[in-house]
Amino acid sequence: MKTFHDFDHLDAIIEKSNVLNAIVEIPKGHHNKYEFDKESGLFMLNRCLYSASHYPGDYGFIPQTLAEDGDALDILVMVNEPTFTGCLIRARVIGMFAMNDGDDRDCKLLGVPDSDPLYGEYNTLQDAPPHFLRVVEHFFTNYKQLEGVTIEPQGWKTKDEAMGEVKASIERFRQSKSEYMTTGKGNECFE
């Protein structure tokens, strides 16, 4: 019987706030797409980006969440220096970039390290540099273009809308986990 992956012991939300546990898959500036492999419990090279783009921040997922695309909810964390694959960052959510990735709705939370004084005053999208937001939007709109995947940007959403997506993703995770534990069938993210 397959079990939940190793990060499921971490809560998504820390102390009922807008601070989340974020697991880094891809460090800032990298061109390789790493993903957590649930079967092996290791991070694996999923693919290399087809374009000359690189990730504009540390990119990963929020444990104990299930996004509409069937994976854990994605997060991009603004960092001054890249961390490393597998790093746990306590990230304060300031907003979310929404898009459609092919046929799937795909939301990318935007956060800052809660313990970094450089981002101590970042609480909403209005606190982030406008150019950085344009870089993130450009990256996610174009990073799969050479793969033949069409991304339809839906624009930036507020911190409150982002936290609403987090709570919905937590509920989807709990529901799917309950179904899996009861029937042994359910979302493939648990297999």
Q: Confirm or deny that 106 is annotated as ligand binding.
A: yes
Give the predicted TM-score (pTM) of the model: 0.86
Phi, psi of 144 (to 5 degrees): -110, 5
Q: In DSSP terms, which residues pair with 89 in a beta bridge?
A: 22
User: What was the pLDDT predicted at 15?
Assistant: 64
Q: Confirm or deny that 119 is annotated as ligand binding.
A: no
Q: Confirm or deny that 101 is annotated as ligand binding.
A: no
User: What was the pLDDT predicted at 50?
Assistant: 85
Query: Could you give the angle at the alpha carbon of 46 between the alpha carbons of 142 and 147, nearest 5°?
Result: 30
Q: What percent of the chain has pLDDT over 70?
A: 86
Fold exhibited by the domain 19-183: Inorganic Pyrophosphatase (3.90.80)
Q: Confirm or deny that 114 is annotated as ligand binding.
A: no
What are the pLDDT digits (tens) for 1-29? 334 456 666 777 776 688 999 999 999 99
pLDDT category of residue 191 using cuts at 50, 70 and 90: very low
User: What SS3 state is found at 180?
Assistant: helix
The winner for highest mean pLDDT among 67-76, 140-149, 181-190 is: 67-76
What are the pLDDT digits (tens) for 144-167? 767 777 788 899 999 999 999 999
User: What was the pLDDT predicted at 181?
Assistant: 59
Average pLDDT over residues 109-130: 97
pLDDT category of residue 30 using cuts at 50, 70 and 90: very high
User: What SS3 state is found at 19?
Assistant: strand
Q: Confirm or deny that 8 is annotated as ligand binding.
A: no
User: What was the pLDDT predicted at 2?
Assistant: 38
| Domain map (residue ranges) of the chain | 19-183
Q: Confirm or deny that 185 is annotated as ligand binding.
A: no
What are the pLDDT digits (tens) for 48-70? 888 888 999 999 999 999 999 89
Whether the pLDDT of residue 110 is over 70: the answer is: yes
Q: Confirm or deny that 144 is annotated as ligand binding.
A: no
**Count of all residues that appear for the chain in the document:** 191
User: Pairing state of beta strands 88-101 and 151-157?
Assistant: antiparallel
**By the 8 A CB rule, do 62 and 91 touch?**
no
